[in-house]
Every structure is written in structure tokens, then in C-alpha cells.
Chain A
Amino acid sequence: NAGVTQTPKFRILKIGQSMTLQCAQDMNHNYMYWYRQDPGMGLKLIYYSVGAGITDKGEVPNGYNVSRSTTEDFPLRLELAAPSQTSVYFCASSYGLAGHTDTQYFGPGTRLTVL
């Protein structure tokens, strides 16, 4: 199993450009998550999904969009990139147990710089 994979590893964007961060998992997990980590800060939840076709906002959703058309993939879309979106982005997945918190498995991250 590859686990959780993310592409690209690094990206530099100009202000106003858009891009999609890719995330895939091969563990047949139901739940998937996107986090961002700013320097010296903890991870903050952007969006999450409890299954294909179902997504919901996390703590910091502004400026981002997601979709979940398959169990395996959970892309994160940045429209009109801004310097405040410079961060490291982590995708995670978990099996998903109703009423319980189970272990989230993280990808290696995408380091995004907006200039």
C-alpha cells in the first residue's frame, strides 16, 4: 500500500493563479481531510469528507474548494491564490467510525508558496 499520496511536493504560484492539490489514498478509507500548517503553528482543518459526494467545511475553508467523486481521491482547489495561502498542505484519511475518532494517516505534504 502506498498509503496517502500527495502531488505536487512543491509549487510556486503567482498571486491570482489557481491550482489543484491532488490527494489519493489506497486504504479504502471513508474519511479524508485537508489541513494546512503555517510556520510555528499547528495543523488547521480546511475541509473534510466522510464519503464520496459528501464534503464539509473545517476551521479555515475560505479561498478553497473540494470535491470527492471517488473514495480514493480528494483534490483541493485554490482559486485566485493569495500570499496568505503560502503554507504546507497535508491530506489525511481515516477509516471512519461513527461516534469515535480513529487514527488519521497523513500524506507527505505539499509546500506551496504564493508570490
Chain B
Amino acid sequence: DQQVKQNSPSLSVQEGRISILNCDYTNSMFDYFLWYKKYPAEGPTFLISISSIKDKNEDGRFTVFLNKSAKHLSLHIVPSQPGDSAVYFCAASEAQGGSEKLVFGKGTKLTVNP
């Protein structure tokens, strides 16, 4: 049973446009959400996170939106750059429950075309 779902395996956008990556979760106890970026043959690197007490968190070109009622979050990248081409993983945790465990989605491969 997948608790974190990324239903789009891939996404292709033009350089300069907005990239929107989506993530849904089923566990209502999740209260902390993260996005990781992964290049081939490398480990994932942390990108941005959001706590359930917020509905938006912004860091430069990256913004994460959280809709708790819909159990949905999204990552917006504006403007998209070719160097953003990577696999993006959504992850969730029950932080207040004292859990250190992250549950990952399957990832979305983003391709930004010049």
C-alpha cells in the first residue's frame, strides 16, 4: 500500500517555463513533507520541505504548496532550467510522532528542454 504517490513518472517542460510536480499521500498522520532531487549515479539531495502547519514554503525558484484537506502537495519550479533535469522524490514523515522515518514516492523524472 503506497502511502506516498507520485502518479506522473515523467514530465517534460521547456526552459523558462514552470514545472509542477505533484504528490499525494494517504496517511493523515504525516506532518512533514520533503522534496529530494536525484541525478543519475548520485544520491538524493534535499531540495525543500514544508511542515503541516504551513501551506506554502518558498526557496528561490522552488515553491512547495501543501493542501492538507486534499492530502496533496506540489513542487513548483519557476523558471525551469536544463540543470533541473533530474528525478524528484516526494517524501513524508510523522515528525511529531517522533518518527525519523521517511516514506518516499516513486519519483517523477523531470526533463527541461533548452
Which A residues are closer than 8 A to B by beta carbons? Answer: 4, 31, 33, 35, 40-45, 48, 50, 58-59, 90, 92, 94, 96, 98-101, 103-109
Contact = CB atoms under 8 A, between A and B. Distances in A.
Interface in B37-68: 41-46, 49
B105 A58 contact: no
14 contacts: A41-B106, A43-B44, A43-B89, A48-B101, A59-B101, A90-B43, A92-B43, A101-B49, A101-B100, A105-B46, A106-B36, A106-B43, A106-B44, A108-B41
Contact of B101 (A41, A45, A99, A107): A45
Nearest to A92: B43
A101 B32 contact: yes
A78 to B, nearest CB: 19
Contacts of B46: 103-105
B73 to A, nearest CB: 15
Interface of B: 4, 6, 9, 32, 34, 36, 41-46, 49, 89, 93, 95-96, 98-102, 104-107
B98 A31 contact: no
A43 B34 CA distance: 13
Contact of B100 (A41, A43, A44, A96): A96
A40 B100 contact: no
Contacts of A48: 100-101
B43 A109 contact: yes
Contacts of B101: 45, 48, 58-59
B23 to A, nearest CB: 11
B106 A42 contact: yes
Contacts of A90: 43-44
A82 to B, nearest CB: 23
Contact of A98 (B34, B36, B98): B98
A85 B63 CA distance: 36
Contact of A100 (B45, B95, B102, B104): B95
Contact of B43 (A45, A58, A107): A107
Contacts of B96: 99
A4 B44 CA distance: 12
A40 B104 CA distance: 12
